[in-house]
Amino acid sequence: MKKINQINFKKTLSKFVTGITVVCVKKNEIIYGKTVNSFNSLSLNPPMVLFSLGNYSSSINTYLKSEYLSVNILSNKQKKISEHFSKKNPSNNDVDFFYSKHDTPLIKSCVANLECKLIEKIKRGDHIIFICRVINIKKHDRVKPLTYFNSKYY
Protein backbone atom coordinates (compact mmCIF):
# COMPACT_ATOMS: atom_id res chain seq x y z
CA MET A 1 0.00 0.00 0.00
CA LYS A 2 1.08 3.59 -0.73
CA LYS A 3 0.35 6.70 1.28
CA ILE A 4 -2.39 8.65 -0.50
CA ASN A 5 -1.84 11.98 -2.27
CA GLN A 6 -4.04 13.84 -4.76
CA ILE A 7 -2.25 12.43 -7.83
CA ASN A 8 -2.26 8.74 -6.88
CA PHE A 9 -5.84 9.05 -5.51
CA LYS A 10 -7.09 10.36 -8.90
CA LYS A 11 -5.13 7.71 -10.84
CA THR A 12 -6.45 4.93 -8.60
CA LEU A 13 -10.07 6.07 -9.01
CA SER A 14 -9.56 6.13 -12.80
CA LYS A 15 -9.37 2.29 -12.59
CA PHE A 16 -13.11 2.25 -11.88
CA VAL A 17 -15.04 1.89 -15.18
CA THR A 18 -17.91 4.36 -15.56
CA GLY A 19 -20.39 5.48 -18.15
CA ILE A 20 -20.47 9.11 -19.22
CA THR A 21 -23.34 11.51 -18.65
CA VAL A 22 -23.93 15.14 -19.51
CA VAL A 23 -26.02 17.02 -16.95
CA CYS A 24 -27.98 19.88 -18.54
CA VAL A 25 -29.94 22.82 -17.16
CA LYS A 26 -31.54 25.85 -18.81
CA LYS A 27 -31.42 29.31 -17.26
CA ASN A 28 -32.39 32.63 -18.91
CA GLU A 29 -32.64 30.83 -22.29
CA ILE A 30 -29.02 29.61 -21.96
CA ILE A 31 -28.36 25.85 -21.87
CA TYR A 32 -25.59 24.68 -19.56
CA GLY A 33 -24.10 21.19 -19.92
CA LYS A 34 -21.39 19.43 -17.96
CA THR A 35 -19.70 16.07 -18.55
CA VAL A 36 -20.14 14.02 -15.38
CA ASN A 37 -19.07 10.47 -14.51
CA SER A 38 -19.91 10.64 -10.79
CA PHE A 39 -23.50 9.72 -11.68
CA ASN A 40 -25.12 6.79 -9.87
CA SER A 41 -28.48 5.32 -8.98
CA LEU A 42 -29.63 6.00 -5.42
CA SER A 43 -33.16 4.71 -4.80
CA LEU A 44 -35.77 2.68 -6.69
CA ASN A 45 -38.75 3.80 -4.62
CA PRO A 46 -38.91 6.75 -4.87
CA PRO A 47 -36.75 6.82 -8.02
CA MET A 48 -33.66 8.86 -7.21
CA VAL A 49 -30.19 9.36 -8.68
CA LEU A 50 -27.14 11.34 -7.60
CA PHE A 51 -23.99 12.93 -9.00
CA SER A 52 -21.41 15.34 -7.62
CA LEU A 53 -20.01 18.60 -8.97
CA GLY A 54 -16.82 20.39 -7.92
CA ASN A 55 -17.59 23.44 -5.75
CA TYR A 56 -14.97 25.30 -7.83
CA SER A 57 -16.92 24.89 -11.08
CA SER A 58 -17.58 28.11 -13.02
CA SER A 59 -21.28 27.22 -13.33
CA ILE A 60 -21.85 25.70 -9.87
CA ASN A 61 -24.35 28.42 -8.82
CA THR A 62 -26.48 27.82 -11.91
CA TYR A 63 -26.70 24.10 -11.06
CA LEU A 64 -27.33 24.79 -7.35
CA LYS A 65 -30.26 27.11 -8.18
CA SER A 66 -31.89 24.89 -10.80
CA GLU A 67 -35.21 23.17 -10.12
CA TYR A 68 -35.17 20.71 -13.02
CA LEU A 69 -32.21 19.16 -14.82
CA SER A 70 -31.50 16.35 -17.25
CA VAL A 71 -29.00 13.49 -17.00
CA ASN A 72 -28.10 12.28 -20.49
CA ILE A 73 -26.31 8.93 -20.66
CA LEU A 74 -24.07 9.14 -23.73
CA SER A 75 -23.69 6.52 -26.46
CA ASN A 76 -20.38 5.34 -27.93
CA LYS A 77 -21.10 7.68 -30.89
CA GLN A 78 -21.13 10.74 -28.61
CA LYS A 79 -17.50 11.03 -27.49
CA LYS A 80 -17.33 14.51 -29.08
CA ILE A 81 -20.28 15.62 -26.95
CA SER A 82 -18.46 14.45 -23.82
CA GLU A 83 -15.30 16.32 -24.85
CA HIS A 84 -17.36 19.40 -25.70
CA PHE A 85 -19.09 19.57 -22.31
CA SER A 86 -15.89 19.01 -20.37
CA LYS A 87 -14.62 22.41 -21.63
CA LYS A 88 -15.07 25.60 -19.65
CA ASN A 89 -18.05 27.64 -20.98
CA PRO A 90 -18.89 25.42 -23.97
CA SER A 91 -21.28 26.70 -26.64
CA ASN A 92 -24.05 24.35 -27.79
CA ASN A 93 -23.85 24.90 -31.54
CA ASP A 94 -23.39 21.29 -32.65
CA VAL A 95 -25.57 19.59 -30.04
CA ASP A 96 -29.17 18.55 -30.83
CA PHE A 97 -31.55 19.01 -27.92
CA PHE A 98 -35.18 18.15 -27.31
CA TYR A 99 -37.29 19.56 -24.48
CA SER A 100 -39.56 18.14 -21.81
CA LYS A 101 -42.76 19.79 -20.62
CA HIS A 102 -40.74 21.56 -17.88
CA ASP A 103 -38.54 22.97 -20.68
CA THR A 104 -35.61 20.87 -19.46
CA PRO A 105 -33.06 20.45 -22.30
CA LEU A 106 -32.25 16.82 -23.16
CA ILE A 107 -29.64 15.56 -25.64
CA LYS A 108 -30.91 13.58 -28.66
CA SER A 109 -29.71 10.04 -29.57
CA CYS A 110 -28.41 9.07 -26.10
CA VAL A 111 -28.52 5.59 -24.55
CA ALA A 112 -30.94 7.07 -22.03
CA ASN A 113 -32.28 10.42 -20.80
CA LEU A 114 -33.56 11.21 -17.32
CA GLU A 115 -35.55 14.30 -16.48
CA CYS A 116 -35.01 15.06 -12.80
CA LYS A 117 -36.16 17.40 -10.05
CA LEU A 118 -33.33 18.55 -7.81
CA ILE A 119 -34.33 17.75 -4.23
CA GLU A 120 -31.18 17.95 -2.09
CA LYS A 121 -27.65 19.31 -2.18
CA ILE A 122 -25.00 18.05 0.25
CA LYS A 123 -21.59 19.73 0.53
CA ARG A 124 -18.78 17.28 1.23
CA GLY A 125 -15.07 18.01 0.73
CA ASP A 126 -14.54 20.00 -2.48
CA HIS A 127 -17.70 18.62 -4.15
CA ILE A 128 -21.46 19.01 -3.79
CA ILE A 129 -23.66 15.91 -4.05
CA PHE A 130 -26.83 16.56 -6.05
CA ILE A 131 -29.71 14.24 -5.15
CA CYS A 132 -32.47 14.20 -7.74
CA ARG A 133 -35.88 12.63 -8.11
CA VAL A 134 -36.37 11.15 -11.57
CA ILE A 135 -39.69 12.21 -13.12
CA ASN A 136 -39.49 11.20 -16.81
CA ILE A 137 -37.29 8.71 -18.67
CA LYS A 138 -36.41 7.62 -22.21
CA LYS A 139 -34.11 4.79 -23.37
CA HIS A 140 -32.78 3.38 -26.64
CA ASP A 141 -32.19 -0.37 -26.34
CA ARG A 142 -30.02 -0.81 -29.46
CA VAL A 143 -27.52 1.96 -28.67
CA LYS A 144 -24.24 1.11 -26.89
CA PRO A 145 -22.87 3.28 -24.06
CA LEU A 146 -19.74 5.43 -24.00
CA THR A 147 -17.44 4.19 -21.22
CA TYR A 148 -14.47 5.72 -19.44
CA PHE A 149 -11.52 3.89 -17.88
CA ASN A 150 -7.98 4.96 -17.02
CA SER A 151 -8.78 8.50 -18.33
CA LYS A 152 -9.67 7.15 -21.80
CA TYR A 153 -12.93 6.65 -23.67
CA TYR A 154 -14.00 3.20 -24.90
**Which residues of the shown chain bind ligand FMN in the complex (CB under 6 A)?**
20, 34-38, 51-54, 57-59, 86, 88, 148
Least separation in angstroms between CB 1 and ligand FMN = 26
Closer CB to ligand FMN, 37 or 66, in the complex: 37
CA dihedral (38, 73, 133, 124) in degrees, to 10, reads: 10
Give Cβ neighbours of residue 123 (< 8 Å, ≥ 6 apart): 55, 129
CB of 53 to ligand FMN, least distance (A): 4
The least distance separating ligand FMN from the CB of residue 99, rounded to whole angstroms, comes to: 22
Q: Which is nearer to ligand FMN, 112 or 146 (CB)?
A: 146
